[in-house]
């Protein structure tokens, strides 16, 4: 058997190969085939996937902390609607990644460390959105009054308040112009059910 000669192989049974070397084909067992000692067997390597394995730990006092003591009531569950005052005080705007990046940039300026955090930014933008509604954006003076009503600890006539509101107001106008609609979903126009544009429906 010449290991350097290319031979067409035809698989016969489970452990036999038929070598079509000459006119007379004969079955040869796989164990009887000679392997070139210089080349050696060829091993096909496959890249292994690095799948992280989660760590599972048992909480010893889980049954005591999370007790199954809920009893379904006999009557229906009713949703208690919030009053007008509670709805106005509730913050519906949630800061996204762009808001946090802008906030870090603002806090990095001189003299503005600690003046504004993510919670205050959400309340300020929420106040300006609810003051504007579905209409055009309010003026900066109206925004100052709306924010002063929501944030009681900021004096409306102080220089600190005007500078802080001016920066947030400018950022809010740019973001509203970029989205071309209010930032609160409750003020978005209802899309027609026949509209096939997924960017408007969802």
Q: Is residue 172 part of a domain?
A: yes
Q: Is residue 83 part of a domain?
A: no
Q: What residue numbers bound the domain in which 101 lies?
A: 91-187
Q: Is residue 5 part of a domain?
A: no
Whole-structure pTM value: 0.54
Q: Is residue 76 part of a domain?
A: no
Written as tens digits, the pLDDT of the chain (202 aa) is 677 776 655 555 554 444 444 445 455 454 544 444 444 445 556 677 788 888 898 888 888 888 888 888 788 777 777 666 666 678 899 999 999 999 988 887 766 656 788 988 999 999 999 999 888 999 988 988 888 887 765 555 567 777 888 899 999 999 999 998 899 988 888 877 787 877 766 5
pLDDT for 108: 79
User: Partners of 43 in the beta sheet?
Assistant: none
Q: Is residue 79 part of a domain?
A: no
Could you give the number of structural domains in the chain?
1
Distance CA 158, CA 141 (A): 13
Distance CA 13, CA 18 (A): 9
Distance CA 32, CA 73 (A): 78
Q: Is residue 80 part of a domain?
A: no
CB 133 within 8 A of CB 85: no
What would you report as the CA-atom Rg of the chain, rounded to the nearest whole angstrom? Answer: 36
Q: Is residue 50 part of a domain?
A: no
Q: Is residue 97 part of a domain?
A: yes
């Amino acid at each position: 058997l010449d290991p350097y000669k290319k031979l067409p192989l035809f698989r016969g049974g489970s452990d036999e190969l038929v070598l079509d070397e000459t006119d007379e084909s004969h079955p040869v067992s796989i164990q009887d085939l000679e392997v070139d000692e210089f080349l050696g067997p060829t091993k096909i390597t496959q890249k292994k996937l690095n799948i992280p394995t989660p760590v599972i730990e048992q909480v010893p006092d889980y049954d005591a902390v999370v007790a199954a003591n809920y009893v379904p009531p006999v009557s229906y569950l009713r949703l208690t609607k919030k009053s007008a005052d509670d709805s106005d005080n509730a913050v519906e705007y949630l800061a996204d990644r762009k808001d946090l990046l802008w906030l870090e940039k603002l806090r990095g300026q001189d003299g503005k460390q600690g003046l504004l955090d993510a919670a205050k930014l959400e309340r300020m933008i929420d106040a300006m959105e609810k003051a504007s509604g579905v209409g055009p954006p309010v003026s900066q003076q109206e925004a100052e009054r709306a924010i002063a009503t929501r944030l009681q600890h900021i004096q409306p006539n102080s220089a600190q308040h005007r500078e802080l509101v001016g920066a947030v107001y400018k950022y809010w106008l740019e973001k509203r112009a970029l989205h071309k609609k209010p930032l609160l979903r409750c003020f978005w126009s209802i899309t027609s059910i026949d509209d096939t544009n997924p960017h408007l429906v969802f």
